[in-house]
Structure 1
Amino acid sequence: MKKTMFTMLAVMSMGAVQAQPGTPVPGSYGFAPPMPRQIAPAPRQVAPMPRPPVPEYAKGSPAAVLEEGMERLLERLRSKDLNTDLLRNYLDNEVAPYFDFDYMAKSAAGNMYRHMSEGQRIRMAKRIKQQFLSTMVQRLISYNNQTVSVVSQRMQPNARTGMVTTTIRGPKGYPTRLDFRFYKAKEGWKVFDVMANGQSAVVHYRRQFRQTMYMPRGRDQRPVARPHRQLSSGS
């Protein structure tokens, strides 16, 4: 009996009995209450970041004109009966009037434009229009529910020219940035250049123009523009 009591006192004094959390442990007055469990704090709920408000542009502004044209174009692209011929016809009748291809031809030709005949200027503008619309047909015929958003509108101090930035987002891949440069014509706002991810359409046509034109000097040392056979053709 004494040996048993001695053993119990020895074990208790050495701390060999370690109570697990939540189990009763011996105390001075019988058994102590269970130790409270440590509960991990609940994760903080982070409120979602609010989306920036969609900017509203004044009616008749370049951004408003572009939004209206984009909405009609996307509606046409969603139609089930769309094919290449219908799309080309739609772009020629509904989209082309928003662009000034004569202005684009003049910008692409630069100083050489004043040395070109009226027929050469008309053919150059016509060719740029055909190339531009053909590229649009190739890109748009594979439309797959991409969305177009107007991001910003920046106007020059004279309020006669400006640039509207848009983004095109698809189900996969990175968004494409398109910058439309406008100027105020008598008929309203006209697009005279488009930049896709910083690549200018006018600069592209300017490179083409330099490859198809050369300027030999005559007897009076004045530069004379001579058309390439592609520009002299009726196409």
Structure 2
Amino acid sequence: MRHATVALATLWLGLGLAGAQAQAPPAAQAEGAPAASAASGEGPTEVVQNAAQGMLGELDKDRDAFRRDPEKVRQLVDKYLLPHFDTQYSATLVLGRHWRAATPEQRKRFVDAFYQSLLNNYGSALVDFTAERLKIYPNKVDPDATRVTVRTEVKRANGDRVAVNYYLRRTPQGWKAWDVVIDGISYVNSYRTDFGEQIEAQGLDAVIKRLESGERPEAIGRQAGRKS
């Protein structure tokens, strides 16, 4: 997802992305994190809307403080975005058959490293995101539906508008996003292709180490494209 990564990061960052902390215990969530959507009765559109509004509301209180302290950005993502993303399911799709072959330690290292890489490289983009740049379209959901697409539109800094659609599925904890499609490009499919090529060439451990070193995920994909 080379040309759309920044647009993704501006809203559901790790989400992107995400895969973050897929195996972390509940206590790892930020203190004061919002309740699961199942408990609050939120529908899928409300999940996206409330998460965005909560995050933007806190940003508006003191954006300069978030610019000065990257750790505050991480806490914001952990509090408002991460609880509503199906991190484990998304990570299994990104790695595909390589997830099934991975050890529990490799799985944990991958999701942690992927999350940290996205957050470190694109967390600052969240600070400049404003409510005026986001439009969420209403969505009538069948009561029996188990999967839903929430359509939104994001206005980029240059004024261009891009479709950003969230794929959510019903879980025991409520509606959770598992894929983000930006301008027709799926986060899951793009990273699965990019990482898959590098895993085939170098092995999963090598890809994890590159993410742990701070390399941008899409840079790994670009290298795969040059070598193919």
2:66 is equivalent to residue 82 of structure 1: yes
Is 151-160 or 125-134 further displaced after alignment? Answer: 151-160
Query: Residue 108 of structure 2 aligns to a residue in which SS?
Result: helix
Higher relative contact order (CA 8 A, sep 6+): 2
2:204 is equivalent to residue 227 of structure 1: yes
Q: CA deviation at 1:192?
A: 0.6
Which one has a larger percent strand, Structure 1 or Structure 2? Answer: 1
How does 1:42-53 map onto structure 2 within 5 Å?
Answer: none
Instruction: Point out where structure 1 has 5 or more consecutive residues left out of the alignment.
Output: 1-58, 216-224
Alpha-carbon deviations, 1:30-81, whole Å to 9, x = none? Answer: xxxxxxxxxxxxxxxxxxxxxxxxxxxxx51100111111111111222223
Identity %: 21
TM-score by length of 2: 0.63
Partner of 2:152: 166
Alpha-carbon deviations, 1:139-163, whole Å to 9, x = none? Answer: 2123356332211437589511111
- In 1, distance between residues paired with 2:138 and 2:195? 32
Query: Residue 81 of structure 2 aligns to a residue in which SS?
Result: helix
Which of the residues 151, 173, 182 maps onto 1:187? Answer: 173
Check 1:133–1:97 CA distance in 2 against 1; reply closer, same or farther (3 A cut).
farther
Query: Residue 92 of structure 2 aligns to a residue in which SS?
Result: helix
Which of the residues 111, 114, 133 maps onto 1:128? Answer: 114
Letter in 1 for 2:80: E
Check 1:94–1:136 CA distance in 2 against 1; reply closer, same or farther (3 A cut).
farther
Matched length: 169
Check 1:144–1:63 CA distance in 2 against 1; reply closer, same or farther (3 A cut).
closer
Which of the residues 40, 55, 58 maps onto 1:73? Answer: 55
2:42 is equivalent to residue 60 of structure 1: yes
Partner of 2:9: none
Letter in 2 for 1:82: F
Larger radius of gyration, structure 1 or 2?
1
- In 1, distance between residues paired with 2:192 and 2:159? 30
- In 1, distance between residues paired with 2:48 and 2:99? 29
Query: Residue 214 of structure 1 aligns to a residue in which SS?
Result: helix
TM-score by length of 1: 0.61
Query: Residue 72 of structure 1 aligns to a residue in which SS?
Result: helix
Which one has a larger percent helix, Structure 1 or Structure 2? Answer: 2
Instruction: Point out where structure 2 has 5 or more consecutive residues left out of the alignment.
Output: 1-40, 213-228
Letter in 2 for 1:227: L
Partner of 1:178: 164
Which of the residues 74, 78, 85 maps onto 1:99? Answer: 85
Partner of 1:108: 94
Q: CA deviation at 1:199?
A: 1.8
Letter in 2 for 1:202: V
Q: CA deviation at 1:137?
A: 1.4
Partner of 2:189: 203
